[in-house]
Amino acid sequence: MSETGLFSRVHFGGDYNPEQWDSSVWREDARVMRDASVDMATVGVFSWAAVERVEGVFDFAWLDEALALLHEASVRVDLATGTASPPNWACAAYPDILPVDASGVPYRPGSRQHFSPSSESYRRLAAAFVRKLVERYRDHPAVALWHVNNEYACHVPYDYSDAAARRFRQWLRARYGDLDVVNALWNTAFWSQRYASFDEIIPPRRTPYSHNPGLLLDFRRFTSDVTLELFIMERDIIRGAGATQPVTTNFMDAYPALDYWRWAREVDIVSNDNYSDPRDPDAARHAAFGRDLMRSLKPARPWILMEQAANTVSWRPNNARKSPGEMSAWSEQAVARGAGAILFFQWRQSVAGSEKFHSAMLPHAGPDTATFREISAYGARCAARTPVATGPAEVALLIDWENWWALNQPDHPAALDYERILRDWYEATHRAHVQLDFAHPSHDLSAYQLVIAPALYLLDERASANIARFVANGGVLATTSFTDVVDQHDRFRPGGFARGLGVVFGAAPIDFWGVADADAAPILQQGECIGRARGLREELRLDGAVVTAAFDDGAPAIVEHGFGDGSSIHVAAQLDRSAIAVVLDRALALAGVRPVLPALPEQVEAIRTASGVTLINQSAAAVEVAVADERITIEPYRWREFVERFPSADDQPRAAPLDARTTR
């Protein structure tokens, strides 16, 4: 894989859809792109029907001309394979292309993303199209990157078609081999669900009542895998045809249907789309979550912010504008987190079609607009810099898609929203100006001082041993209720709960129940209410842990315990924002982790980079900050970079643990 000069600067640009325009507009595009310092364009995301007019009949002339123009204008092309929106001729001739919903109703053409990942016809036609495209453009001097499909699983995350049923059975055979194993693991003895043949197994279509949890979990795994097969199919066609440019596909932050840890292994470059809502007061924190997740998926390599909006989107019921400077400040937080390209949907605003009110880099009203001026100014900044490496983090927040799939199933003591819980903990660390990485429970955690693992309900033995080892070797672990409850098959382990981590917690839950927000129990620490329980409480049986906070009924709410050279804090509930802040504070003190810089206002974002610190004012008011004895004003939505080396957190003393230690 050659990187064709990629990341020689921070690239700047966006989706470019020349097929929506008369070719006379393309020259103007190339000229105005130069004014905006655009040097990268994603071309062809929805061009399948414009190129393959009917099956086997290709019109590449317009694409040849558009790519030549872009090349002339020194714009690198991220060439998309266009397979996210199959042409009408394909759907008419091969209706098995269409995905099917849980009630058995097919989705129809007329929008986009109407393909079943399991459909043989879709795979055959997509493969043939990609082959033609790559054979034509593999050596094109403008093509710097291949962009497979688009936002896989976005509108149709789950397909329940007959084709999906057939592939699901194959997937189960490959995973378990024997039907008796499937029956045993899914406990099909319950409700007379026993399968006498693999052919009886169907996707979790509409049923009178709850599905078997084992089947649901495996169907989620299958869906992520079968969708990934499509990416791999196209990527291997690209490589097989001799193309040497890297291959990507655009992710969507923490998207529930696809296990991006597994996906990240297959892409050459991670890329991401982010559309935080400017109306949300925590929008920049939401965006930061996605950016930290992306850089964590493939550490130490530049990633690409593939799409964001220059200003408004068009798909919320009410689409707020970005404040002046906000687009730049959100872009800057991506650059400080290692993004090597800042791209947008889309270059020129469409004149018709579903997204005609979506903002673009070049608005319909032309370059004499605030949006274009801000775009050009930020483009010039990107042109003048190279990608930065993000500095090391001492805190890891664990995210595991398999846990997500198991946790978000029905029939639990309370419905917990894993993404919401992760975001609450992420945002608390962001508010505390502490840098974090995302990690998987089975990753090497030895570089971290603190690991936060909220609601890690499904935990296999390898991962729980890994986490226990991290604590035994001196790490601090912070967990919340409903952690280490089931194995990888969503089954209780014999002998109770927290069978792997109970020894680390010095306590184990013996019962779980739901708490409604209206009667959420206060959590009391030395008589002070530090916040409230949320969602799901558990009753703990103590085995060595020290109780540091109790619910108002006197039951243990927060326990601390030493294990080996490290310690754990376990909370017997999910928490509101104020309780999270208190628990986090204690965990950071135990781990000896301190903020990137002390005493920063909440609205200032702090990122440690390899060369110093970037501070971004993510608010509409100027702020004053103290940096190394100097008081500095940062204007609204502006940033400051400090290249000095600040003291690292290594020399930070740790708070004393509370109890006698359990030795390994």
Q: Which residues are catalytic?
A: 151, 307
Kindly give, in sequence order, each residue whose CB lies less than 8 Å from that of residue 583, ignoring residues fewer than 6 positions away. Answer: 478, 558, 569, 571, 575
Query: Is 36 or 313 the residue whose CB approaches ligand GLA more closely?
Result: 313
Beta strand ranges found along 240-366 (DSSP E)? 247-248, 250-251, 271-273, 303-307, 339-344
Is 345 a binder of ligand GLA (CB under 6 A)?
yes
Q: Interface residues for ligand GLA in 298-317 (CB under 6 A)? A: 307, 313
Over the window 95 to 134, marking each residue x when it contacts ligand GLA by CB under 6 A and - when it does not, the resulting string is ----------------------------------------
Binder among 29, 52, 151, 259 for ligand GLA (CB under 6 A): 151
Q: How many residues does the structure list for the chain?
A: 664
From the list 628, 99, 620, 623, the residue with the least C-alpha distance to 329 is 620
Looking at beta carbons only, is 17 or 121 nearer to ligand GLA?
Answer: 17
Closest CA to 314 of 347, 273, 357, 279: 357
| Tokens read off for 545 | 């842990």
Nearer to ligand GLA, 343 or 545 (CB): 343
> Judged by CB, which is closer to ligand GLA: 154, or 655?
154
Report the nearest approach of ligand GLA to the CB of residue 656 (Å): 49
Is the separation of the CB atoms in 395 and 434 below 8 Å?
A: yes
Q: How far is the CB of 73 from ligand GLA (least distance, A)?
A: 23
Q: Which of 105, 161, 130, 218 is nearest to 488 (CA)?
A: 218
**Closest C-alpha among 260, 240, 7, 18 to residue 138:** 240
Distance from C-alpha of 627 to C-alpha of 630, rounded to nearest angstrom: 5
Angle at 477 between CA 298 and CA 615, to 5 degrees: 55
Contact between 617 and 623 under an 8 Å Cβ cutoff? The reply is: yes
Minimum CB distance to ligand GLA, residue 344 (Å): 10
Nearer to ligand GLA, 44 or 556 (CB): 44
Q: Are strands 76-80 and 40-43 parallel, antiparallel or unpaired?
A: parallel
Q: How many CB atoms lie within 10 A of CB 5?
A: 9
- Cα–Cα distances (Å) from 506 to 468, 538, 552, 656, 659, in that order, read 12, 15, 22, 17, 10
CA distance 592 to 375: 41
Size of the site for ligand GLA (CB under 6 A): 10
Element (H, E) at 288: helix 283-297
Work out the end-to-end distance of the chain between its first and last CA atoms, rounded to an integer number of angstroms.
46
CB of 275 to ligand GLA, least distance (A): 5
Q: Are 581 and 430 contacting, i.e. CB atoms less than 8 angstroms apart?
A: no
Under 8 Å between Cβ of 377 and 383 = no
CB nearer to ligand GLA: pick between 271 and 481:
271
Q: For residue 132, give both structure tokens.
A: 């033609």
Write down the least CB distance from residue 659 to ligand GLA, Å.
Answer: 50
Residue 263 Cβ, how far from ligand GLA at the closest point, in Å?
Answer: 16
Backbone angles phi, psi at 278, to 5 degrees: -60, -20
Closer by beta carbon to ligand GLA, 114 or else 594: 114
Report CA torsion sign: 283, 148, 106, 194. negative
Q: Does 277 bind ligand GLA (CB under 6 A)?
A: no
Which of 150, 227, 248, 376 touches ligand GLA (CB under 6 A)? 150
Q: Which of 275, 378, 505, 637 binds ligand GLA (CB under 6 A)?
A: 275
Given the DSSP bridges, would you call strands 604-609 and 612-617 parallel, antiparallel or unpaired?
antiparallel
- State the minimum distance, in angstroms, from the CB of residue 281 to ligand GLA: 21
CB of 567 to ligand GLA, least distance (A): 43
Specify the residue, 310 or 520, whose C-beta has the smaller distance to ligand GLA. Answer: 310
Element (H, E) at 472: helix 461-472
Residue 342 in contact with ligand GLA, rule: CB under 6 A: no
Q: How far is the CB of 84 from ligand GLA (least distance, A)?
A: 8
For ligand GLA, the binding residue among 273, 394, 400, 427 (CB under 6 A) is 273
Helix axes 326-336, 283-297, angle to 10 degrees: 30
One residue of 220, 286, 358, 430 binding ligand GLA per CB under 6 A: 358
Q: Which is nearer to ligand GLA, 111 or 578 (CB)?
A: 111
| 277, 355, 417, 659: residue in contact with ligand GLA (rule CB under 6 A) | 355
- Judged by beta carbon, residue 319 or residue 488, the one nearer ligand GLA is 319
CB of 301 to ligand GLA, least distance (A): 22
**CA–CA distances in Å: residue 445 to residues 349, 356, 398, 457, 588:** 45, 46, 10, 19, 16
**3-class DSSP assignment, residue 601:** coil
Contact between 355 and 364 (Cβ < 8 Å): no
Closest to ligand GLA by CB, 275 or 330: 275
Residue numbers at the binding site for ligand GLA (CB under 6 A): 45, 150-151, 273, 275, 307, 313, 345, 355, 358
